[in-house]
Structure 1
Amino acid sequence: MMSWHYKTFDQFTAAEVYELLRLRSAVFVVEQDCVYQDLDNQDQAAFHVYKTDGRRIIACARVLAPGTAYAEVSIGRVIVDLEYRGAELGVELMLRCEEWIWDAYPKSKEIKIMAQCYLASWYGRQGYVGQGEEFLEDGIPHRIMSKNIA
């Protein structure tokens, strides 16, 4: 049975941490052919939103508090398993993150993300607007984007 989960890092079981890292590695390292250090010491302070199919994590993202990655609250490490793409699961994931942000940080006026450029139009359809120039992060073109939530 598919279900959504909302957890801080210390609420994860060892199996859930393994699943989270398995999915990130499958997408960011193998699928995108990008060798980078995923373990950046921000997961411990993040709030994690993810969906399982009953046996494994199939979509996930993390929310970082204002002042962690940016002055604003941010969403990052947004992933949907290849098998589940095309079913608007990414849209639902972003909406669930945003709803959590509205509850957790009611004074926040903006959400900031670092989007891979090939996904900028997808994030644009979710209401995010590009800021500044493109730049390389781990060899992949990125752009800072933000969404007004005031």
Structure 2
Amino acid sequence: MTPLTWQWLSFDSLSNLQLYQMLALRSEVFVVEQDCAYQDLDGKDLKALHLVGALDDKVLATARLLPVGVSYPDAASIGRIVVHPSLRGQDLGRKTVKLALEQYQRLWPSEALLIGAQARLTRFYEELGFVSEGEIYDEDGIDHITMRWAKCA
């Protein structure tokens, strides 16, 4: 596995370069690769804690952790989980989610945790302790499903 340096940063703590690289990575995967025109800059980054995985000052993995009330009225959330395409197959997606879950447990252990997962990744999230809730829904042309972390991973 590629040895990344991991940091948790508030929006105000991100350097200009980190923010630029984080947004560029999200755009590369979510907009270009997945052919999905959507509004990535949704205002939630301002309220999030950002997990940044970098190698030689290049952001190669990221996720955002959102407090209760930002994405869901009664639950915290993890979102915008992404790993650079060149690093796939190294379990960095799993590592990114696990680090986000650890931080969530430190900050809000008594709060529920929900994610809006791409439906094609249901099994991946189930292996990390998430369970599906409700029906598959369309978000920006991609099937998604709400998943709750069952705290058993």
- Bin the TM-score by the shorter chain: over 0.9
Partner of 1:130: 132
Within 2, Cα distance between the matches of 1:115 and 1:124?
11
CA distance in 1 between counterparts of 2:56 and 2:101 reads 24
Structure 2's unaligned 5+ residue stretches are: none
Name the residue aligned to 1:43.
45
Aligned counterpart, 2:78: 75
In 2, Cα distance between the equivalents of 1:2 and 1:148?
A: 28
Shift >4 Å, 4+ stretches: none
Percent of residue pairs bearing the same amino acid type = 38
Q: Is the 8 A contact 2:5 2:53 kept in 1?
A: yes
Question: Which structure 1 segments of 5+ residues have no match?
Answer: none
CA distance in 2, matches of 1:9, 1:124: 29
Secondary structure in 1 matching 2:102? helix
Q: 1:66 aligns with which of 44, 65, 68?
A: 68
Cα shift at 1:2: 2.7
Q: Are 1:107 and 2:110 counterparts?
A: yes
> RMSD of the alignment, in Å?
1.2
Contact kept, 8 Å, 1:111 with 1:149, in 2: the verdict is no
Q: Alignment partner of 1:29: what SS?
A: helix
Could you say which residue in structure 2 is the equivalent of 1:6? 8
TM-score, length basis structure 2? 0.93
Aligned partner of residue 48 in structure 1, secondary structure: strand
